Each structure stands twice: as C-alpha cells, then as structure tokens.
Amino acid sequence: MKSLLWIRWTLGLLLLCTADADSGRKPNFVFMMVDDLGIGDLGCYGNTTLRMPNIDRLTLEGVKLTQHIAAAPLCTPSRAAFLTGRYPIRSGMAAHGRMGVFLFSASSGGLSQEEITFAKAVKEQGYSTAIIGIYHVNKWNLIVKCYQNADHCHHPNSHGFDYFYGTIMTHLRDCQPGHFLYGHIPYKMQESGPEGIGLVSLALLHIKGMIAVTRRVVFGFLVLVGLVVSLFGVLVYTFPNLNCFVMRGPEIVEQPYTSDNLTQRMTSEAKDFFFYRNSERPFLLFFSFLQVHTGLFASPLFRGRSQHGLYGDAVMEVDWSVGQIMQTLERLNLKENTLVYMTSDQGPHLEEISINGEMHGGYSGIYKAGKSTNWEGGIRIPGILHWPGVLPAGKVIDEPTSNMDIFPTVLNLAGASIPSDRVIDGHDLLPLLQGQVERFEHEFMFHYCNAQLNAVRWHPPNSNAIWKAFFFTPDFYPENSSACFHTHICLCIKPYVTFHDPPLLYDLSKDPTESTPLSPDTEPQFYSVLEVIRAAVSHHAESLKPVPVQVSPLQIVWKPWLQPCCSSLSQKGKTKHFLAKFVSR
C-alpha cells in the first residue's frame, strides 16, 4: 500500500514536471497573409461557390473573427501596422499625397530602423524568424547591407527576419511578360497610342505651315520625342527586371521571376524552413502570398478549376498552399505548439477588371466597397486563429479587433516585453480568444486613408452599438462610372472625395452594410455620439508625434542608384545551405 502511494506520488511529480516543461516551451508562430483577398471570397465567411477546404478547416478547429479590421485599406501601410502594432501614421508609413504605396523596389522610403517589428522582438527571445513572399515595407538596400556586413545593423535583416525568400514588391501586372503599364493606362488609350503620335506629328506639320517655325526647333522637338520614346522603350523592356525579382536573403535568385508555380515554390521554401530549422528554437514564419493581387496567375494544376475564372483559380491555389503548410506542421508534430493566423492585408480590389473585361478583383460579401476605402469592404478582413488545445475550436467572435493586435499577442506569448517608449495601438488577443473576457479593448478605432483621418469607429463599453462616423467618403458609386473606377482605385484627396459636416454616422450593429446614414431625426443620440467621437479624435491627435514620412513622392520615386541588380543567379536549390548559415546559428 505504501509503495503504491509512493509510485503515485512519483508519477504525479513526473507528470507535473513534464507539464511544466511543456508549458514553459514558447509557442511557434505561422502567419499567412493573402494579398487583396476579399472577406466575401472565403467559404467560412459565407461564400458558397468558391471552395477553400483548408482555410475552412482552420476556422472549424480555431477561432473566427468577424469584425477583424485592417489598420489601413492599402497594402504598404496595412503591412507596416501589422508588423509593428501601430497605426501607420506613427511610423511615417502613411502618405500625405496621392500615392500611398511603394511602386518600385528601388525607392528610398521604408519602415524606419526605429520601429520594432514582432520579428525583431521575438528574435531577441531566441526565435528563428523567416519571411517568405512579399515584403513591401522595407528598403531593399538595408536588407543587403545587413546581410553583407553585420556591423551595419544588429540583425541579419534590418527588421528581424533571419531568412527571406520572396519579393520586395507586391506582384504587379507589369511583372507579367508584355503587360507593362496595363491597368495603369485605360485600355482605350493604349489602343489609340499610335494614332496619338500620328496626330501630334500632323499637328506639328500644320504648325510649321502656319507659323514660321525654324527648322531647328522642329528638329530639336523630334530629337526630344525620339529620346523620350526610346527611354520609355528601354523602361518597358527592363521593367520586369527592375521590379519583379525573387531574393533569397541578400541575393537575387530569379530576375525577372516567372509567376508560374511561384506559390508552389514558396510553399516548398516554407516546408524547407520547417524541416531544416534549428529545432532547439521556437520559430516565427510570416508567409506572405503574392496571390491574389493582379496580375493574376495560377499554376497549371489550378487553372480552370474554379467557377470564378482566373481569380477563383488563384484563390484555390492559396488554399492548397495553406493545406500544405498545415500538413507539414502536423507531420512534424508542431500543430499543438503553433499559433497559426490567417488574414488578408485589406479588402478586395473591386476596380480590377482585366483587359478582356474579366473580374480580377475579389468580393467583399455584404460589405460596401473594397480596397483603398474605409467602407467596411475595404478594411474588414478575414481573421482566423488556430492553436489546438489552447484556443477553442469553432468559436466565432464579433468584437472589433485589428491586425495590429497580433503584435502584442505575439510579444506576450514569446515572453518579450511590450515597448514602453512608444504608443502600441494593438491589444493582446488571447483573453478574448480564450473567452476570459467578452468585451475587447478597442473602444475607438481610427480609420485612416493615407495620412487623412477618414472615419472613426466607437464601440461604447455598455452598449452593443458600433458607431462609425465618416468625415469624408470616396466617390465609389455608381460603381462603373465613379471617380474610383476612373482612377482605377479610390483616392482620398480632393476632388475624389465628398466631405461631410456633420459627419456621416452609421450604427454597424444594425446596419453592417452602411446603407442608411443616421440623422438627428432617426437617431436621438446623433449629436452626443459625434461629441464623444470628436473628443476621442483630439485625444488621439495629441498622441501623434511628427515623424519623417516614408511614403512621400520623393521617397517613393524610382532611384536608379538604389536599384538592386543582377546578383548571383546560381542560388537555386541552395536553401539548405542558406538556412544552415542564417537560421541555425
């Protein structure tokens, strides 16, 4: 009897010890972000015609957030906010002008070294970190400097990623052979290009006849035209080389890249990362899909398989990749110790119509408008969190959450301290996900379009209301002849927007489609709600510090002397060695 007790005690202690050792182990992180994917594209968010079994499974086994909000409706600022847990306006990643994203790999702007990304923070806690896919916030030259000369920065990569396989830029139509400038110039104008040149020449001849223009002027003008045309030709010819290349760490390994099988190659890079990582350490992988941004592509295996053209095929390929990643985690017995997060960078690009008239943008479901607007369709993104045994299975949460919440959640789980010398706008999601709290901490959310405060969301603590007040709105309707349609994407500056005073007010809890703005007649609290929102705005404004703008026209513009070019193209198949060098040390 005594010995039995002794055995039970020892066993108990042993169990306690192993449990302790297990709970002390830090979790791994796998984040998957799809470019431009609409919330309405996903089966688990209500789509009945687009099949995504792997992503659906994530929600069945994990938590689905229905009011998950991108910090900005455009890729560069939204990604910067995701990485840092801060509104883009705080890191200088919000533009003051017309253009809010990076367009060239060789531009001088980028996320400042002062910013702390979640990768940097967990790396200091002993994590192996990797990004596979699009970066879109970094100054490429810093990446190279960091790798080549460790003295230039404290981390192999300036923002804390040990391993990088992917592209600096979002995938653009221009990256596809023969597509330069398609989508930027309306198709009609492209067609009439040659006629245009003819007309100009004709006009010139007429002018010559009418007024006495010296031969010299005409000659000079023709030389100038010739120069411009040939420069343009050179640019058209070399553009894919300049912008569309795949890097592995500091080296360009494919230039220009072919989009065929690119997602498959990236998926196998991710698997290699899992296989060859230093298994003594926890890891963080940010898998950032090039799909489903235009120019659309899908591997031969997926082409023609969906009911929704090339767009649907691309989404199916993304789902396949998610499945591969999850299967690998399972095979390596990592599922129970890995927090998986799946999302999009913002809403779908509704104005994307191919030159053949095929819809190349996604679907925002019941929500209004899409990418580059702060209507719900532009900022409501899928938010799926998966961690069997720690997060409940099949739970759905309607509270407002943000893609900035990943930052503090990850830091807390990794044992890193939240930076106290700066404002962090995200909140730790774990108590909400685990059901320890019902209400989340985002009482107010500030919806910026570039650096302009566009709208404010208020979820008062003691009510179910979700007020949203717009100070201005993009001219999105009528859909096919609106300003947004003509400029190919909604812009948030005059004359492309309408200002509202008093602001347009909605209650999203009753009107999620933002169809009927409230008025003092229909909403007794109209003025008092706006009063609270105004006070919140001035409080928020006080917390902003001036920072150098990273997305100004001068920072965005192409700088030939910064152009990454032509490094070793013989790196294919060297993942193993590369990982050995950068991850396992």
Ligand X SMILES: *[C@@H]1O[C@H](CO)[C@@H](O)[C@H](O)[C@H]1NC(C)=O
Give me the residues paired with residue 359 across strands.
Answer: 353
Q: How far is the CB of 319 from ligand X (least distance, A)?
A: 12
CB closer to ligand X out of 120 and 349? 349
Q: Which of residues 205-264 bind ligand X (CB under 6 A)?
A: none
Binding of residue 40 to ligand X (CB under 6 A): yes
363 binds ligand X (CB under 6 A): yes
Which residue is at the shortest CB distance from ligand X?
Answer: 363
Q: How many helices (H) and strands (E) does the chain have?
A: 18, 15
Residue with Cβ nearer ligand X (367 or 506): 367
Closest to ligand X by CB, 51 vs 179, is: 51
Strands (E) in 182-263, as ranges, are: 246-248, 251-254
Using CB under 6 A as the binding rule, whether residue 387 contacts ligand X is answered as no
Q: Shortest gap between Cβ of 203 and ligand X (angstroms)?
A: 45
For 17, 79, 117, 506, the CA distances from 76, given in Å and listed in that order, are 46, 5, 14, 28
Based on CB atoms, which residue is closest to ligand X, 169 or 292? 292
CB contact at 8 A, 297 and 143: no
Q: Does 41 bind ligand X (CB under 6 A)?
A: yes
- Shortest distance (Å) from residue 45 CB to ligand X: 9
Tokens of 244: 């569309």
Residue span 300-329 as binding mask against ligand X, x where in contact by CB under 6 A, dash where not = --------x--xx-----------------
Q: How far is the CB of 362 from ligand X (least distance, A)?
A: 5
Nearer to ligand X, 271 or 349 (CB): 349
Asked if residue 383 binds ligand X (CB under 6 A), the reply is no
Q: Does residue 136 interact with ligand X by CB under 6 A?
A: no
Residue 327: CB minimum distance to ligand X, A = 25
CB of 287 within 8 A of CB of 132?
A: yes
User: Distance between CA 72 and CA 472 in Å, rounded?
Assistant: 15
Q: Which of 326, 180, 318, 333 is nearest to 242 (CA)?
A: 180
Q: How far apart are CA 303 and CA 322, in angstroms?
A: 18
For 518, residues 6+ apart whose C-beta sits below 8 A from its C-beta are 505, 506, 507, 526
SS3 for 291-329 is CCCCCCCCCCCCCCCCCCHHHHHHHHHHHHHHHHHHHHH
Which residue's CB is nearer to ligand X, number 73 or number 365?
365
DSSP string, 483-544: HHHHTSS---STTSEEEEEEEEEEETTT-TT--S-B-TTT-TTHHHHHHHHHHHHHHHHHT-
- Candidate residues 100, 362, 408, 564; the one interacting with ligand X per rule CB under 6 A: 362
Q: Could you say which of 50, 74, 119, 350 contacts ligand X (CB under 6 A)?
A: 50
Q: At its nearest, how many Å lie between ligand X and the CB of residue 151?
A: 48
Least CB distance to ligand X at residue 516 (A): 23
The correct pick among 23, 48, 333, 480 for binding ligand X (CB under 6 A) is 48
Residue 141, sorted as left (phi over 0), alpha (psi -120 to 50) or beta, turns out to be alpha
- Number of chain positions touching ligand X (CB under 6 A): 11
In terms of CB distance, is 153 or 359 closer to ligand X? 359
In the list 30, 34, 47, 271, the residue contacting ligand X (rule: CB under 6 A) is: 47
Please, what is the minimum distance in Å from the beta carbon of residue 461 to ligand X? 34
Three-class SS of 401-428: EEHHHHHHHHHHHHCCCCCCCCCCCCCC
Residues in the site for ligand X, rule: CB under 6 A? 40-41, 47-50, 308, 311-312, 362-363
